[in-house]
Structure 1
Amino acid sequence: MDLINILKEINKIYLFFLTGFVPPTIDTSLKRRILFFLNILLILVITNVFSILLTFYSQEFFHFDLPEKIDRDRDYSLSSIHNLIIAVIVAPVFEELTFRKGLRFSKNNLVITIAGALFFVLRIVFMIKMMIVIPIIISAVILLSTYKHRNLFLKLNAFWNSSPRVIFYVSLFLFTFLHLLNYDISLRVLLFSPLLLISQFLSGIIYSYVRLKDSIYASILIHSIDNLLLILFLNFL
């Protein structure tokens, strides 16, 4: 792991952001994957530091305060096992399956993405009770899994292959703006959303790149480690 390789990886991520396309990996050796993971983690650290400094100095320079999160008092200390599990395990798995699994098209990937999206909309956005949400999701999964219209899935597959940038951008912006739900939505929150969401926006690009470059398991792992590193940083700052 050296500066040249990190800069090359950043350039690849930038090209991915412009095109939504990741060239196939030729070298799949364990050594390459370890170096790739280390480079990505370092890039995530850099983007997190950049996001923190940008928001801090923007407030200092322009003399304003950003809106506070609804759950600003939530305990993310290392002693709070419940919140740690949510932040480091539950959230990364759920978010990656919902927003990154479908970046590669298959019927199963589509079903998983729609199931996750339904959960977010019904449970998190509209706060409908779980006893209602679960049957709706199960019904949708069964319906989609047993749907036999082959031409529809062929057309969707063709669209995914011909429009990777569209699929990537939709996934990225949905993932990013989902995090506005951490705030009490108002005009002020919307005006400050670029600063409030810069970290999620940048990390979403990187998670998507990892998912397409390696696998969904890799993006889940990277997402989990990234959240853990951020919690450690906040605890020991």
Structure 2
Amino acid sequence: MNSARPLFKHELLNFLAFAVRPTLGPRLPGRQLGDGWHLDWFQALPLKRLLQWALALWALNMLALGPLALSAASAAGAQHRLDIHNIPWLHALLWAPIVEELVFRYGLRQPVKSLWLLPFAIAAMLMGPKWQAMLLLGAGVLLCWWLHGRRSLVWRPSLHWHAAYRRRFPWVLHLACLAFAAVHLHNFSLQSAPLWLLPLMVAPQWLTGLVLAWLRVRRGIGAAIALHAIFNGGPLLLIFLLLTLLGGELPLS
């Protein structure tokens, strides 16, 4: 480690500063030393810290943004597509965290390498969790790993290009967060919902995407994937436990 890992409250303050003024650096203290490419995927992060962030997001979504989103969906006459009797464990815990992080957040810190991976990731996301899409996504990741060892084959941008990207990074970040939230409108069966209600319906996904973007930039893509999976798993586990305790039926009110 290059220094002691910060306390959760210090990470929270770092995130709030990032949300107000997004920057590419510096990394958070406590980062392992070694090959940056490898650590971007496999940076060690204690489960306790991931759970702390997940709990913070769950609390904010349940107490504030969740009720706001439900009220907006009700006002718009939109119905959620989730079938509580057929919980999509594979999609929520594995497929969505990997695919969505690679599509919306991998390129935040690796904009050049993402040019190779993004077409594979977008195609896989559109295809859904099918074996063909899994093979396609795996091929894209393997291609990036192969190119990492053959840097002479990859375009290396100039210092001027890097400086220009850093200046435009806040725009890139917020557009990525908005796109991530907008994709989750697919979770609803939209009738004739007013356009001004749509952002409110995906406010929880916007906030979650902002936290995941911060974690991706400050820690790495592997940490963002892990938090994404934990965040998705919590509500589904709660639904599963309630269904089990209540004999398979949830009360309507």
Conserved? CA contact 2:103–2:118, under 8 Å: yes
Q: For 1:9-88, what aligned pairs fall within 5 Å after superposition?
A: 9-21=11-23, 22-28=25-31, 33-34=45-46, 36-50=49-63, 51-56=65-70, 58=71, 64=75, 66-69=77-80, 71-73=81-83, 75-77=85-87, 83-88=88-93
**Residue 236 to residue 110, structure 1, CA distance change in 2 (3 Å):** same
Structure 1 counterpart of 2:216: 211
Write the letter of the residue equivalent to 1:99.
F
Partner amino acid, structure 2, of 1:25: L
Runs of 4+ in 1 over 6 A off after TM superposition: 145-149
| 1:38-72 residue CA offsets vs partner (Å, 9 max, x unmatched) | 4312222222213223345x47xxx8464113x34
Q: Distance in 2 between matches of 1:185 and 1:111?
A: 34
Matches within 5 A, 1:145-224: 150=155, 153-154=157-158, 157-188=162-193, 190-224=195-229
Percent identical across equivalent pairs? Answer: 21
Query: 1:169/1:55 Cα in 2 relative to 1: closer, same or farther (>3 Å)?
Result: closer
TM-score by length of 1: 0.71
* Structure 2 letter corresponding to 1:160: Y
Report deviation, 1:95. Answer: 0.4
1:101 to 2:111 alignment: no
In structure 2, do the counterparts of structure 1 residues 38 and 72 end up closer, same or farther at CA, with 3 Å as the change threshold?
Answer: closer
The Cα offsets for residues 99-148 of structure 1, whole Å up to 9 and x where unpaired, read as: 1110113532332124323444x647xxxxx79xx7xx98xx89xx8997
Distance (whole Å) between structure 1 residues aligned to residue 226 and residue 86 of structure 2: 19
* Bigger share in helix: 1
Matched length: 207
The CA distance in 1 between the partners of 2:66 and 2:176, in whole Å, is 24
- 1:127 corresponds in structure 2 to none
> Once the 2 structures are TM-superposed, how far is the Cα of residue 94 of structure 1 from its aligned partner?
0.4
For residues 137-152 of structure 1, what are the structure 2 equivalents within 5 Å? 150=155
**Cα offset, 1:165, TM superposition:** 0.6
Q: Distance in 1 between matches of 2:97 and 2:154?
A: 32
Aligned equivalents of 2:208 and 2:45: distance in 1? 19
8 Å contact kept, 1:104–1:160: no
Q: Which runs of 5+ in 1 are unaligned?
A: 78-82, 125-129
The 3 A distance-change label for structure 1 pair 67 and 226 is same
TM-score, scaled to structure 2? 0.67
Shift of 1:221: 0.5
* Equivalent position amino acid for 1:53 in 2: P
How much has 1:149 moved relative to structure 2? 8.6
Is structure 2 residue 234 aligned with structure 1 residue 229? yes
Compute the displacement of 1:179 (Å).
1.1
| Ranges in structure 2 where 5+ consecutive residues have no aligned partner | 1-6, 33-43, 243-253
